């Protein structure tokens, strides 16, 4: 069996070599010529898999080690009898932890009490569910909008197995202090998410700011928007135009339209800007590899054997927790989060894209993803609690850290 894989899928050779010969290629460079003898194609989000790529190739199975699938023409695959699997939920915890870390940094920068904030979640899938679970444990008010799930729940009791007691309209979510997007990219139809944030929506935000005028606007922030879903969920050009005139809005972007050729003017206007790495924890990426490997074993009727790294016991990474005299718990935890997940360094590195010439900017963006450091989810860390107060412990437990009593 011949397998062609994106070189950025972790452990792909080690995991899939038992099925056949594995050839790794940069994801954006995979072409039909690479697939002329391939039975299996393994990708991440940067490879467009469609008729143009697969026509007249022997590919029988496509695996995408990602949650999203807007880069896959699933209808064409089905019509042509090509099996397909992705990795739903594989990096959901990683993305939720990115959002939490970003929010802590935002509240610290603008001197906001996180527990006084209302957070709106758009999209109640795997990531939205993980994030809401953490926010509920932190006792933060959450609003959730998901038209598709809301429609599916109509006629049923007002609850769901995902833990969402009720959904609100999108207009209600826009009233939240912080709005974070966790939707797939759907371009057409009743549940389209393409340019969910557009000129019309931004004008509604302007109406809110006019009702509550800003004073000393340079130091004020009335609202924060976070996008870790897909770049096309936000009209980047409209957002840039809006930000240049409205200092009351702050933005954190991990995903961009036209990646890797991102709008650097928009980047310059973001509170935090990162190179599509929200889900790039080692745990999430390895989970994605295993999920598409298991699906391949099922399709080819091969016995699934868990890779060795799945069977190994994870030794917790011990961290020292320090809290300054009279320091609020959220500030102390924020410092810990930035040690575990140095998101400010990710932001700094992306902004260096402006030191590249025009032709190299896209290559630089991709290199940040390809050479991303090993990042572990919070559950991999063990923290001694002797310097913790009860509020510290409550927050750390809510975020999923292991605690040493």
Question: Active-site residues: which are they?
Answer: 230, 259, 276
Q: Are strands 272-273 and 381-384 parallel, antiparallel or unpaired?
A: unpaired
DSSP bridge pairs for 62: 41, 84
Query: For the chain, how are helix, strand and coil distributed in percent, rounded to 5?
Result: 40, 15, 45
The answer to whether residues 108 and 86 touch, using CB atoms and an 8 Å cutoff, is: no
Helix 343-351 and helix 92-109, axial crossing angle in degrees, nearest 10: 80
Q: Is 62 exposed, middle or buried (0-12, 13-18, 19+ CB in 10 A)?
A: buried
Q: Are 175 and 117 in contact (CB under 8 A)?
A: no
Secondary structure E strands in 58-145: 61-64, 83-85, 118-122, 141-145
CA distance 385 to 377: 19
Burial-class residue 311 by CB neighbours within 10 Å (0-12, 13-18, 19+).
exposed
Q: Three-state DSSP class for 192?
A: coil
Element housing 149 (H / E)? helix 147-153
Burial of 91 per CB tally in 10 Å (0-12, 13-18, 19+): buried
Cβ density class 127-165: b for 16+ within 10 Å, e for less: bbbbbbbbbeebebebbbbbbbbbeebeeeeeebebebe
Residues linked to residue 84 through DSSP beta bridges, in sequence order: 62
Half-sphere exposure of residue 403: CA atoms within 13 angstroms, side-chain side? 16
Tell me which residue has tokens 């509604």: 204
């Amino acid at each position: 069996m011949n397998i062609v894989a994106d070189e950025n899928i972790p452990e792909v050779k080690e995991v899939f070599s038992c099925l056949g010969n594995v050839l790794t290629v940069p994801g954006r460079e995979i072409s039909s010529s690479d697939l002329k003898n391939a039975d299996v194609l393994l990708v991440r989000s940067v490879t467009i898999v469609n008729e143009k790529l697969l026509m007249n190739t022997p590919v029988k199975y496509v695996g995408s080690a990602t949650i999203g699938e807007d880069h896959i023409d699933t209808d064409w695959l089905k019509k042509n009898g090509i099996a397909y699997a992705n990795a739903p939920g594989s990096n959901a915890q990683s993305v939720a932890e990115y959002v939490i870390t970003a929010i802590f940094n935002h509240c610290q920068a603008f001197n906001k009490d996180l527990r006084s904030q209302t957070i709106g979640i758009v999209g109640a899938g795997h990531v939205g569910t993980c994030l809401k679970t953490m926010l509920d444990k932190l006792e933060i008010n959450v609003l959730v909008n998901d038209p598709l799930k809301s429609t599916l729940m109509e006629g049923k009791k007002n609850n769901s197995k995902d833990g969402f007691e009720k959904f609100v309209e999108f207009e209600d979510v826009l009233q939240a202090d912080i709005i974070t997007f966790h939707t797939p990219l759907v371009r057409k139809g009743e549940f389209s998410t393409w340019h969910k944030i557009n000129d019309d929506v931004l004008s509604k935000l302007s109406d809110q700011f006019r009702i509550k005028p800003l004073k000393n606007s340079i130091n004020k922030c009335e609202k924060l928007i976070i996008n870790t879903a897909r770049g096309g969920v936000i009209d980047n050009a409209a957002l840039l135009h809006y930000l240049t005139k409205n200092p009351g809005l702050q933005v954190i972007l991990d995903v961009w339209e036209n990646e890797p050729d991102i709008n650097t003017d928009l980047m310059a206007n973001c509170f935090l800007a990162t190179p599509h790495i929200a889900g790039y924890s080692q745990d999430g990426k390895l989970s994605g590899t295993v999920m598409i490997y298991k699906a391949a074993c099922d399709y080819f009727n091969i016995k699934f054997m868990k890779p060795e790294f799945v069977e190994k016991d994870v030794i917790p990474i011990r961290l020292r927790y320090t809290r300054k005299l009279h320091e609020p718990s959220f500030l102390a935890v924020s410092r810990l989060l930035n040690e575990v997940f140095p998101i400010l360094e990710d932001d700094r590195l992306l902004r260096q894209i402006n030191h590249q010439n025009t032709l190299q900017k896209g290559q630089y963006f991709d290199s940040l993803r390809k050479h991303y450091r090993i990042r572990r989810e919070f559950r991999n860390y063990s923290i001694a609690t002797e310097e913790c107060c009860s509020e510290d412990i409550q927050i750390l437990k809510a975020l999923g850290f292991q605690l040493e009593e």
